[in-house]
Amino acid sequence: MNMDKKELRNGIRLALSRMSDELYKQSSLLIKKRLLNEPIIIEGNSIAITISTEREVDTIGIIESLWALGKNVLVPKCIAKTRAMEFYKIDNFDQLETVYMNLREPVLELTEQFSAEQIDCIIVPGIVFDYSGYRIGYGGGYYDRYLEHFQGNLVSLAFDIQIVNSVPYEAHDQPVNYIITETNRIDCTTKRKG
């Protein structure tokens, strides 16, 4: 099963690396527009989101739009020793620092921590997604651990090429409710029921 995950992850990463800059920017913009029209974003107050790297859907523009809408923008801090994750509110990009693997995380002294109960929606990252909302992430398991006790809305952003029919998953894997792509809004909850 792990080999399947590894192969899927590597295959999608390769496909993403082959996307032209123009297509990447255009598709990211379409996803941003769709996301900002989502009721859970319009009605939500505190939105948790990662700072995109490499060929992930660009979240910088999304974050700027969320600030313009007066939302609390929360970004994750990973605690490697315990494999835990916490979310902190940022008001500008200067409150971030670059840590291992070129990830940008909040500077704790400059930011305020939010508990899971204070978060309305988490935008969950990943590399490969299926129509039921299961995903293959980066292998750290941080999100699955955090989401086990989270009651709010879960959304993922992905390019169409990141969606496959099914990904291998285990009992502890936490599926998302919706996936927003440049051409589609996938309601994963109906797929899991049906």
Cα–Cα nearest to 158, from 1, 19, 6, 5: 19
- pLDDT band (50, 70, 90) for residue 1: very low
Q: What is the pLDDT of residues 48-94, one digit of tens each?
A: 999 998 899 999 999 999 999 999 999 999 988 888 999 999 999 99
Q: The pTM is what?
A: 0.94
- Taking each continuous run of H as one helix and of E as one strand, the counts in the chain are 6, 13
Whether pLDDT at 15 is above 90: yes
**Rounded to 5, what percent of the chain is helix, strand, coil?**
40, 25, 40
Dist CA 8 CA 30 (whole Å): 25
Beta bridge partners of 131: none
Dist CA 53 CA 55 (whole Å): 6
Q: Could you give the angle at the alpha carbon of 134 between the alpha carbons of 40 and 7, nearest 5°?
A: 135
CB atoms within 10 A of CB 19: 15
